[in-house]
Amino acid sequence: MRITTIVFIYFMLSGCAHKVFDVSSHPYFSNYSGNTLSTQRDAKLCLNIDDKNHFTFRRVKLVSASEWCSFEELAIIPAGSTVYVEGVKEYWVPFRGSHWVALGVVTIAGQTYKFEFIYGYFSIIRAPWENDEEPISKAVPKQSKA
């Protein structure tokens, strides 16, 4: 019994914890990371919270204009607005896998918001700053770090 407990504690402390990787240089994201970009489609900012299935990096989430906000809608971002994409993070959780999140900054009506845009879990969706020639959805990046 003691050995089982020790092994269980070892796995809990060593490799069975979430991990965050900077994947800004991945070909999917490298053209956008560290750049100021224009949105190609309308979007909006929603208040974002942690829940059991999602760890938030930021309290404001950027979503498509047609998407429903779980809590409060903060601002509409019209097409042609300027956003700064700081970088992209891969958030890996044991038994759940990865999701990819872009972190950025946008100023709307004199108010600056730091936001996160969830690229996806099982596929990578087209971001508001990507042009219409990009596919709406594509395969997730190969996981090489976790």
The verdict on residue 58 lying in a domain is: yes
Output the pLDDT for position 146.
45
The candidate with the shortest Cα–Cα distance to 66, out of 39, 47, 44, 82, is 44
Question: Of 107 and 121, which is predicted with more confidence?
Answer: 107
The verdict on residue 1 lying in a domain is: no
Distance separating alpha carbons of residues 89 and 146, to the nearest angstrom = 13
1-10 burial code (b ≥16 CB/10 A, e <16): eeeeeeeeee
The verdict on residue 83 lying in a domain is: yes
Mean pLDDT of the chain: 83
Mean pLDDT of 63-72: 84
Question: Of 15 and 43, which is predicted with more confidence?
Answer: 43
Number of domains in the chain: 1
pLDDT above 90 (res 107): yes
Which DSSP symbol is given to 131?
Answer: -
The verdict on residue 120 lying in a domain is: yes
The verdict on residue 10 lying in a domain is: no
Longest dimension (CA), the chain: 62
Instruction: For strands 19-22 and 82-93, give the pairing.
Output: antiparallel
Residue 91 token pair: 């958030």
Output the pLDDT for position 72.
86
pLDDT tier for residue 111 given thresholds of 50, 70 and 90? very high
Q: Give yes or no for a contact between 84 and 104, defined as CB atoms under 8 angstroms apart.
A: yes
Range of the domain at 37: 17-138
The verdict on residue 7 lying in a domain is: no
Mean pLDDT of 43-62: 72
